[in-house]
Structures are given as structure tokens and as C-alpha cells.
Structure 1
Amino acid sequence: MLSCARLIEAEIRRRLRANFDTTLPRFDFLAQLERAEDGLTPGEISRRMMVTGGNVTGLAARLEEEGLIERRVVEQDRRAVTLRLTPQGRRDFARQTQAHEDWVAELLGGLSATDRAALLRLLDRTRRGVRAAITEAGA
């Protein structure tokens, strides 16, 4: 499982760099914002991506410089900010997302539709089993 995931991830990283001059962390950052129409705080992004606040701060600064995201002050707490995609960020991310979907479909193209469905079922069952084991271990 891990070797397949690493192979796919390495190829996606390579293609993102070659086709969009971007990185997987930048792609993931934009994906978090794309899913949150009202924006997210840097802390929320940090938790969702499971990275440090420093990583988010650096990425946010570069993406803002490039015009892909914007900062907005939270009305209820003028010290807090939310980050949101700009229209340019939405357009760029939509192109990247479509390419990403195409690449994943290509990389998994050696599997029949039946095999892909079985794989998804087994991965879901595995994920649920691992979560249950973790919950039991922590109890």
C-alpha cells in the first residue's frame, strides 16, 4: 500500500512541478481553501494539513504575493484573519485540479472499473479498521 502511494505521490509531485511550477503542499493548501467558501484561518489550515503554523505562514505569504489568495480581517475579532482564494486562485486551482484528476485516472488506468471499485472498498474497510484499532488502543 505504502509503496503504491509513494509512487503515485512522487509522480503527482513531478507533474505539478513540470506543468504548473507548483508543489504538492501548495496544491493541498489551495485545496483546503477551495473547500471553504468563507475562508479558513491559518490555524484551521494548519490542523487540516497537519503541518506547523510556520509552514502555513510561509505558504500563505507566497501565495498572497502571487495573487492566488487574500487575507481578510475577521469582523468579530479584528486580530484574526481568514484566507480565501482570489478569482485568479480559483481559476489556477481549477486547472490544476482537472489535471490532477486526469493524472490519477491515468496512473490507475491499468485497473478495470471492477478492480478500482474493489480497491476502493478494501481501502475504505482498511481505513475503518485502522481507525477502530487506534481508538481501542487509546481507550
Structure 2
Amino acid sequence: MTLLSSKSDMSVNKRRLRMWIRMLRTTRFVEARLREFLRDKYDTTLPRFDVMAALYRSADGLKMSELSKLLLVSNGNVTGIIERLVTDALVLRVNVEGDRRAMLVCLTDQGRKVFEEMAREHEALINDLFADLDGEDLDELVPVLSRLKAIEDKKS
């Protein structure tokens, strides 16, 4: 079988490539705006925001290994972020009973309060960035992206 078996396949292949480039450009644009917003408004980073979001969703806290797996980053990356969040009194680290090597991390009350404020403004920024998409657009786009995620899950 050849890489491009027919003219119609080539057309679909090119369209897939164009779709990927548009998705990538959009993602980079939105990420850049989010990074700028977090840096300017909260003197924080997108990775710190992501860690806080994961801990916010897990009220009982997460082991460091669970957190790094959830965020798809190395334990070392998570450790550095957690160290700074602990220093800022936004995260608390506690030993896991029965496992001397494991640490459980959770947001402090102050960390929850700070994250809730950031999350509200994050949502407002996302809504502003995608304001030109109406409900019908979202009803078409979200299922397609969900199918892409399902394909990704099958392949991993």
C-alpha cells in the first residue's frame, strides 16, 4: 500500500494536516494569552495553575506520584512546583500513613481561595477568547474533539 493511495485520499490527508495546523495555532495562541494573564495578574505560571486545579478537584489531596501521572509530567517537575506552592502557603504536604516515601499534597484554605479567584477569571478569559463561537458551533466542535480524544485513548 502506498502512502497516498488515491487523489481523494490525498485531499483528505491535506485537509487533516490543515486542521492540525489550525488546532496547533489556536492552542498556542490561547496558551500564550493564558500564560500572560497568569503572569501579569497573579505572578504565577500555567504549570502552577494546572497543579492547583488538579488539587482543587481532589479535595482530599493527591500523592505526588498521582499528581505527576494526572498532569503527564515528571515527579521532578511536580516537586519543584509543589515546593514553591508550599513556600507561598498555598499547598500543604503531609506524610502518607504506612508509606514513608509517599507525600500527600492538598491546597490550604488560602490556596483554595486563591485558586477559585484565578479560576473565575480564567473562565472569563476563555469565554472572551472564544466569544465568537455560539452554542451551535460548540455543539458541533465538542463532539469532534471528543472523538479525537477517544482515538488518542485507544492508541495509548
Provide TM-score, normalisation by structure 1.
Answer: 0.90
Where does residue 90 of structure 1 map in the other structure? Answer: 112
Root-mean-square deviation over aligned CA pairs: 1.3
Q: Which has the larger radius of gyration?
A: 2
Partner of 1:3: 25
State the identity as a percent: 40
- SS of alignment partner, residue 6 of structure 1: helix
SS of residue matched to 2:62: coil
Task: Name the SS for the 2:92 alignment partner.
Answer: strand
**Shift in Å at residue 57 of structure 1?**
1.1
- The answer to whether residue 150 in structure 2 is matched with residue 128 in structure 1 is yes
Number of aligned residues: 134
Query: Which structure is richer in relative contact order (CA contacts within 8 A, separation 6 or more)?
Result: 1
Q: Superposition pairs for residues 1-139 of structure 1, below 5 Å?
A: 1-132=23-154, 134=155
Q: How far did residue 130 of structure 1 move?
A: 3.6
SS of the counterpart of 1:83?
A: strand
Q: Deviations over 1:1-29 (max 9, x none)?
A: 11111111111111111111110000001
Q: 1:35 Cα deviation (Å)?
A: 1.1
User: Which residues of structure 1 form unaligned runs of 5+?
Assistant: none
Measured after TM superposition, the shift of residue 107 of structure 1 is: 0.5
* More off after superposition, 122-131 vs 15-24: 122-131
Long gaps (5+) in structure 2: 1-22
Question: How high is the TM-score relative to the length of structure 2?
Answer: 0.81
Cα deviation for residue 75 of structure 1 reads 2.1
